[in-house]
Amino acid sequence: MDFDLSDDQRLLADSVTRLMADRYGFEARKGYLKDPAGWSPAMWAHYAELGLLGLPFAEEHGGYGGGPVDVMLVMQEFGRALALEPYLATVVLGGTALQLAGSAAQQASVLPAVAEGRVKLAFAHGEREARYDLPFVRTTAKRSAGGWVLDGAKSVVFHGDSADRLVVSARVAGDDADPEGIGLFLVDADAAGLARRGYTLRDETRAAEIALHDVAAEPLGEPGAAFPVITRVVEAGIAAMGAEAVGAMEAMHAMTLEYSRTREQFGKPIGANQVVQHRLAEMLMSMEQGRSMAMLAAMSVTEPDAAERARSIAMAKVGYGQAARFVSQQTIQLHGGIGMTEEYAAGHFFRRCLVIEHSFGDTAYHLARLADEVE
């Protein structure tokens, strides 16, 4: 594997780093949280101007033809800044679904608008009873005189409350947990029969519960054959979240190192104590292991062998999930009580890492997947 960045990739990373450093300090983030959307529309416009919203799309769709490594660089900076905007939901999840399953006409209609910041997407697949079982879909899709209509409910749809269009999975045939018979459909967020209840997750990002009753929908690809696409969308999400976790770990390690140099106890900085130095070294080693796993995930997204890709993604999810949990726990431990206050950033990073670990299958789920392969 080639771990060196190209000149364009280094320029991309530098540009996003400068943007977030200039406009996304912790105090600025508190202001963005007060927006009715729960994130900053002004920052969304900046992302569009910088080309980030079209980064992985083809040039004919207003994009730059970037790959998973380019997305990794962006998500890493977002993780370092605790960015709130719906980049994962719109560009990574929704955008990947459109790229893999959408027709040429659908891509030409939606993706340029996403790249310009005019349309936001959300990927509505999870259901309450499913836990982490991807094939579990009870929402139904039926043919009608005008096309297709959907009935059912979707749960914990990332940024589903602010999306303009939803990519919704629905069953056209088969049993609840059958991988066959699942379709993907494009739905307008203001369609008749669709209801959304938005709320804030524990890490202050937004999600929504979606209810559908006779909602008109437009199929993406062949109805009933969408499960491989759903799997690829989730894998892209796991890879992107891994990069975000790395950025968060970098920020937590840096703030903990600085705190150990300035916080004094018994007449000397706590960082002078060997046990604290050992903790910081262990945090660094875990962070680098997590970085390696996030890189593995990014480089595996385009792996053509589905079984090998799934194995690598599962290993990466376990690796960076364990690393993020350890680094965030040590951050809180070494900061003491201040680490859990709302006024200090450490607790916010901690909660974001917990949400990342539990998204798209937690550590125990992916360990079980890997264990099943060796039995």
Mean pLDDT of 74-102: 98
pLDDT tens by residue, 226-245? 999 999 999 999 999 999 99
Domain with CATH 2.40.110.10 in the chain: 122-224
Parts of the chain belonging to CATH 1.20.140.10: 228-374
- Determine the pLDDT at residue 65: 94
* CA pair distance 317, 229, nearest whole angstrom: 19
- Of the pLDDT bands very low, low, confident and very high (cuts 50, 70, 90), residue 1 is low
Angle, helix 7-23 to helix 68-81, in steps of 10 degrees: 20
CATH architecture of 7-119: Orthogonal Bundle (1.10)
* CATH 1.10.540.10 intervals, the chain: 7-119
Q: Residues, the chain, total? A: 375
Give 340's contacts (C-beta < 8 A, 6+ positions apart).
332, 346, 347, 350
Crossing angle (nearest 10°) for helices 274-300 and 227-262: 160
Distance, in Å, from the CA atom of 301 to the CA atom of 292, rounded to the nearest integer, reads 15
**Is the CB of residue 216 less than 8 Å from the CB of residue 147?**
yes
Does pLDDT of 3 surpass 70? Answer: no
pTM assigned to the model:
0.96
Q: At what angle do helices 7-23 and 41-50 cross, to 10 degrees?
A: 160
264 vs 24, residue with greater confidence: 24
Alpha-carbon distance of 137 to 133, in angstroms, equals 9
CATH number of the domain located at residue range(s) 228-374 in this protein? 1.20.140.10
Write the CA distances from 19 to 118, 138, 165, integer angstroms: 20, 42, 27
As a whole number, the mean pLDDT across the chain is: 95
pLDDT at 372: 85
Query: For residues 297 and 187, what is the distance between their CA atoms, to the nearest angstrom?
Result: 30
Q: What is the mean pLDDT of residues 300-310?
A: 95
Task: For residue 265, name the pLDDT band (cuts at 50, 70, 90).
Answer: confident
**Pick from 132, 126, 189, 173: which is nearest to 152 by CA?**
126
CATH level 2 (architecture), domain 122-224: Beta Barrel (2.40)
- Rounded to 5 degrees, φ, ψ at 303 are -60, 125
Residue given tokens 């729960």 in the structure block = 38
Residue 324: pLDDT band with limits 50, 70, 90: very high
Beta bridge partners of 207: 158, 199
Euclidean distance between CA atoms 310 and 307, whole angstroms: 5
